[in-house]
Amino acid sequence: MTIEEQLITEITVESLLEEVKTKSDAGYRLVQIGCTRIEDAFEINYSFEKDYRFENLRVTIGEDVRMPSISDIYWGSFIYENEMHDLYGIGVDGMNIDFNGYLFKTSIPHPFRDAPAVTVKKVPKKMDEENKTSGGEE
C-alpha cells in the first residue's frame, strides 16, 4: 500500500485569498476545489500540487456564507466555483466566468445542498442472518 502524504491546513474565509496567493507565488498548480456537506456546514477543500507534493487548504463555512472567487489568481478555478454554486448553492463572489447557475443543468436546484436524510431500512430477519454468516457483499 502506498499512502501519499497529503497535507490539509484549516484556514478561514478571510485568509483564503492570501493563502491561495502564497501557493500561486510558490509555483503550485490548482488541482481541484471540492465541497463536502457536513451536518450544518460545508467543508471546502482547495487542492494544490507542486513536484508531486499534494497540499490542501480547507475552509469550513456555515450555510449562508459566501465565498470569494480565486479566479483572479487561478484563472481556471471558475469551473469548480460554478460547480460549487450549482450543486451546493454556495454563493461565490467575483468569478471571471459566472454561469449564473447554468453550468450544471440539474432538474432540482442545488441537489447536493441538503445533508443526507437518515433512513432506517428494516431488514427481514432471515436475510440479516445470511448477511452475518456470509460477511456482507462477498
Partner 1 sequence: MTGRRTVVPFGPQHPVLPEPIHLDLVIEDEKVIEAIPSIGYVHRGLEKLVEKKDYKNYVYIAERICGICSFIHSLGYCQGVENIMGVEVPERAHYLRTIWSEYSRMHSHLLWMGLFADAMGFENLFMNCWRIREQVLDMMEETTGGRVIQGSCKVGGVRKDISVAKLKEMSERIEKTKADVEEINHVFFDDSTVIHRTKGIGYLSKDDAYHLGAVGPTARGCGVAIDIRKTGYAAYPELDFEPVVESGGDCYSRCMVRAKEVVQSADLIRQAIEKIPGGDIDVKVKGNPEGEYFSRVEQPRGECIHYLKGNGKKFLVRERVRTPTLTNIPPLVRMLAGCEMADVPVIVLTIDPCIGCAER
Single out the residue of 61, 89, 97, 110 in contact with partner 1 (rule: CB under 8 A). Answer: 97
Nearest to 13 by CA among 58, 52, 55: 58
58: Cβ contacts below 8 Å, ≥ 6 apart: 8, 9, 10, 11, 43, 44, 45, 46
Binding of partner 1 by 35 (CB under 8 A): yes
Q: How far is the CB of 57 from partner 1 (least distance, A)?
A: 13
Q: What does the DSSP 8-state code read for residue 115? A: P
Comparing CB distances to partner 1, the nearer of 64 and 138 is 138
With H, G, I as helix, E, B as strand and everything else as coil, classify residue 46.
strand
Binding of partner 1 by 138 (CB under 8 A): yes
Handedness of CA 111, 114, 115, 120 (dihedral sign): negative
Q: How far is the CB of 68 from partner 1 (least distance, A)?
A: 19
Which residue ranges make up the site for partner 1 (CB under 8 A)? 1-4, 6, 24, 29-32, 34-38, 45, 47, 52, 54, 56, 74-76, 78-80, 83, 86, 97, 99, 102-106, 111-112, 116, 135-138
